[in-house]
Chain A
Amino acid sequence: MLGEQIMRGMAVTAKNFFGSYVSKNRLTTVQYPEERLSQKANTRQFPMLVFDGDPDKGLRCVACTICEKECPPQCIYIVKSKDKKPDYKGQPQLYPAVFDIDVSVCMSCSICVEVCPFESIKMNTEFELSTDDRFEGLLFHKDKLSKSNEYYHQLHPADARDSDAFLAAENAKAEAKAKAAAEARAKAAATAATAATAVLPTTAPATATPPPPAPTPAAAAPPPPTPATPPPPAAK
């Protein structure tokens, strides 16, 4: 009969109406500032810079500017430092004198995270960034972007463990190479100067003072620092 299905539909909505007063489980929404849903494992908002130990000395970023170049909306602005400081391997590296991210421009694509060879730039999960200052308030400087590795471990434990393992492996590889290079040098010193000249010429100025740096940085991770190193000597 006409109207029968309408009545059935009305019964469904009436059940929802009264049910929402009876059982809390029916209510799907969360009263946000008071109640919060736990964040998803892979949640990401805006980038941050990870440091180990000291926020200034331990900053992993070496100002290679790969992220700056890759960033699709170009929201990253980096100014390289004039001097160098040792990185986690003890290798002297540049560091960012200025590292700004305009989060009003950032689209949270996390391409910067993917291209970073130093496990330095990672995605933060902080999302309550509203501000009444639309220019300065949304331009994050280095001090605001710097976050400790422990903080990163809290946000994404699995990813942080992976990145720690990667860095440790890199470190071990570099040490092994340094050891091999030292042995080779000892051997070379004993024999002739033929092996020493075969080493890349570009690294020569960098290798002058500290002995450990890898003479053959053709591995997966180390290449970026080497192309990045030539400009500073030129600037000097």
Chain B
Amino acid sequence: MFEQLNRFFAPVDQIFVTTLHWLVGFLPAAWRPVASSMLCIAFILMVFPALFSIVTIFERKGIGRIQNRYGPNRVGIPGTKIRLAGFGQFLPDGLKMLTKEDIVPRAADKLVHFLAPVVLLIPVLLTYAVLPFGRNMALADYDAGLLFFFAVGGAVEVSVFMAGWSSRNKYSLLGAMRAIAQMLSYEIPLILSSVTVVMIVGSLNLTRIVEAQAGHTFGLANWFVFTPWGLLGYLIFFIASLAESNRSPFDLPEAESEIIAGYFTEYSGFKFALFFLGEYLGMFAIIGLGITLFLGGWTAPFACLDFIPSYLWFLTKMLGIVFIFIWIRATLPRLRMDQLMNFAWKFMLPLALLNVLVAGLWHYLAIGPLRWIACATIIIVAYVALGRGLMRHQKLGQRTYRYAD
């Protein structure tokens, strides 16, 4: 029965690929590669900003529900009584952003201030080039895809500091400095946790990494997250990606209660919207990478669900992780700067390094329950020990203040 379903849904699975080939087929052969890339880029530029606008509503509604409110539920189709449960909200929000006055501080470095949001968006969009959204659906099937992702994604920090420095505002600069410190600190565990996957698969090609996780044992997918090193790796990757995308509880760079809006304090109107868009697109990209590396990319979790098109699996997983991001945002308070650094350097980094060793051990041990037990034991012991070390100094008591004389 599943075979039949698979055969039935196979054209649906490849619908975007076949449509692309059909469209490109009208052009002369010399133009085809360029046209195909252009169409793919247009598709990405259409889908992910649209996803961004929907996710902002989901976020507002979700946080509302968590705080026992309704969240936005008014805006629907104008002129009618249809409300769409508030999902039309993104349109007036966007219009508001577009029509707002664009204010540049008099003391600002105008060129850099103007360039910063653009410089943010370009690397973020470039990272989408290597992500495989579905079967045969990666724009650029690079052999060094993972390297490309991190290399290009690293340029985001430049734009953040451009924004903070050029605004000539103490809050902007503080936010930018916090952002740089945080992003650099968390990039290390992020990359180290991805290295484990590269070690096991033996390739930096993201499509190859997804294919290595295809197939099922006892009905369950062979995703890396279902192995001890993969679980720890994904946990580290997840926390680091929260920090990389400046999401709560790591939203120190834009802590509203402390430094107004951090590095985009002095941005308004469309430039602010670009920053906002860039931030969310960056979040989607890094979530997509986490899915690709550990959660099997576009593969189904169970063999019986294989018939559902691959891009839908990718989208479902992405929205699921986005929901967890929102859930965390609504739950956890913001960390302090020293806590943030302690967590990165004293907990995440040692665990990530250990995880590299565990992945090596996993590779060399024979397949069987022994390597499961050995790897899991090492990880649990390390987690508990490091966790105790992290919490050791947390003795709460009378606080003493020292004042400057």
Contacts and interface: CB of A to CB of B under 8 A. Distances in A.
Contacts of A17: 62, 65-66, 327
Contacts of B372: none
Interface stretch (B10-18, B89-97, B220-228, B382-390): B382-390
B191 interface: no
B391 A2 contact: yes
Interface string A1-29: 11100100110111011011100001111
A149 to B, nearest CB: 39
A16 B66 contact: yes
Interface stretch (B67-75, B270-278, B397-405): B67-75
A17 B68 CA distance: 7
Interface in A15-46: 16-17, 19-21, 26-29, 31
Contact of A28 (B69, B330, B347, B388): B69
Contacts of A3: 387
A6 B328 CA distance: 9
Contacts of B69: 20, 27-29
B65 A20 contact: yes
Contacts, number: 48
A2 B390 contact: yes
Contact of A1 (B65, B332, B384): B384
B383 A13 contact: no
A62 B387 CA distance: 78
A29 B70 contact: yes
Given A2-B390, A2-B391, A20-B65, A27 B331 contact: no
Interface residues of A, number: 19
A29 B70 CA distance: 8
Nearest to B328: A10
A20 B69 CA distance: 8
Given A2-B391, A27-B70, A16 B65 contact: yes
Contacts of B347: 2
Interface string B370-384: 000000000000011
Contact of A13 (B327, B384, B386, B391): B327
Interface string B331-348: 110000000000000010
A19 B66 CA distance: 9
Contacts of A12: 331
Given A1-B384, A1-B387, A9 B68 contact: no
B331 A10 contact: yes
Interface in A145-161: none
B140 to A, nearest CB: 37
A6 B332 contact: yes
Interface of B: 62, 65-70, 327-328, 330-332, 347, 383-384, 386-388, 390-391
15 contacts: A1-B387, A2-B347, A2-B391, A6-B331, A6-B332, A9-B331, A12-B331, A14-B327, A16-B65, A16-B67, A17-B65, A17-B66, A20-B68, A27-B69, A27-B70
Given A13-B330, A27-B69, 15 more contacts: A1-B384, A2-B383, A2-B387, A2-B390, A10-B328, A12-B331, A13-B327, A16-B67, A17-B65, A17-B327, A19-B68, A21-B65, A26-B68, A28-B69, A29-B70
